[in-house]
Amino acid sequence: MHCRIDTRPLDPEALKASLRDVRAGGFVAFEGWVRDHNEGRAVTGLHYEVHERLAVKEGERILQEALGRFEILDAACHHRAGDLALGEIAVWVGVASRHRAAAFEACRYIIDEVKTRLPIWKKEFYVDGDSGWVNCAGCAAGHVHAHR
Amino acid sequence: MKRVSVEYFAVFREQAGLSGEQLETRAASVGELFGECALRHGFADPRERCKVAVNDELAPWETLLADGDQVLFFPPVAGG
């Protein structure tokens, strides 16, 4: 079980290898990718600001919760910090379990909690040169509702 | 009066124009302190959507403020 904040591109194969376990009959991963649009605006790239110490602490708390709630063997979460280009992996969650159902459920639980609880902020850069912090009131993106 | 240190992140840092400051305050709770800082720096996000950490732990807004506390104000998060 581990949560990490990475400043370099994530390598999904290496991350998956860290969860290999012969007791596991299944593995589920979620990758969040940087897409080229949000809320109707064309996005050219992202910047993630992270409070690393508290993000790791809260991330490991979420993974512990998942290990307690679901019949899984191991789980891990990696989130990027800094500047990201379109198409890059922003967040990776992996879960290994004896049977697939628990792995799907735990993976969904972990990514949903990570998005709302970790001290991570996303700044989007737009084609028109503007930029804005996602989710904050009165920012360039101008949207205060939760993103899903 | 209590002497505390405050740090701002992301949009709060940009709106305040500084990453942190030392403050003297009569605020009883970290929530009250947030209200003072939000007013002074023009933070637009309602407290319910923000988070606070006190001495390196996420904490409820009702947490009583003590002399020497290190308080981190987090605007609405947007991971993933």
Of A90, A116, A121, the CB nearest to B75: A121
Helix, strand, coil % in chain B, rounded to nearest 5: 30, 35, 40
Between CA A129 and CA A92 the distance in angstroms is: 29
Alpha carbon A49 to chain centroid distance? Answer: 13
A122 touches B at CB < 8 Å = yes
- Mean of pLDDT values over B4-29: 97
ipTM value, please give it.
0.94
pLDDT digit string, tens, across residues B31-74: 999 999 999 999 999 999 999 999 999 999 999 999 999 999 99
The nearest CA of chain A is from the CA of B74 a distance in Å of: 7
Fold classified for A2-34+52-116: Aldehyde Oxidoreductase; domain 3 (3.90.1170)
Whether the CA torsion A37, A148, A63, A122 is positive or negative: it is positive
Q: Which of A31, A80, A121 to mutate to test the interface with B (most CBs of B within 10 A)?
A: A121
Q: Taking CB atoms and an 8 Å cutoff, what residues of chain A touch B72?
A: 51, 54
Surface of B (39-68) touching A: CB under 8 A: 44-46, 49, 51, 53, 56, 58
The ranges assigned to domains in chain A are 2-34+52-116
First to last CA, chain B: 40
Of A58, A114, A137, the CB nearest to B80: A114
pLDDT digit string, tens, across residues A66-102: 999 999 999 999 999 999 999 999 999 999 999 999 9
Residue A147 pLDDT exceeds 70: no
Check: CB of residue A76 under 8 Å from CB of residue A2: yes
Whether the CA torsion A135, A139, A143, A148 is positive or negative: it is negative
Q: What domains does chain B contain, in order, with CATH numbers?
A: 2-74 (3.10.20.30)
The nearest CA of chain A is from the CA of B3 a distance in Å of: 23
